[in-house]
Structure 1
Amino acid sequence: MNIAKNMEAIFLAAVALASATSFATASTPVQRIDPPALTQAAADASMTVVTITGKRLTAAEKAALAG
């Protein structure tokens, strides 16, 4: 089974399969979806925003926690 001998046949079969698939799906209409901007704007209106404030640890405090 030397695949190098059959490479041309494999390539032609792949091209034929790709062509048949593209012609078969060419007549199907493209499905349209709502743009993400409209759905994102509706989600932002009811989204809860949480703000966390606090001081950063110093290098000594980080070392004490890690040690």
Structure 2
Amino acid sequence: MNIAKNMEAIFLAAATLAGATLVTTAVAAVPATRHIAATAHAVPASAGKMQVVVITAKRLSAAEKAALAN
């Protein structure tokens, strides 16, 4: 057998196998209750005081915007 001719195919097969193994391991490591736990801690919008930001600045006119763009 001439292994030197088939080194590219051997490398691609090894890289594919390694990638599939890494993906399988990463998927198996994620707990199944991850999304359920995230929604269980959600705070309803009506709970407590909501912070409000008030902007008191005046809007720029079209002429002022054009002057800033230059």
TM-score interval, normalised by the smaller of the two chains: 0.3 to 0.5
Instruction: Flag the structure with higher helix content.
Output: 2
When normalised by structure 1's length, the TM-score is 0.44
When normalised by structure 2's length, the TM-score is 0.43
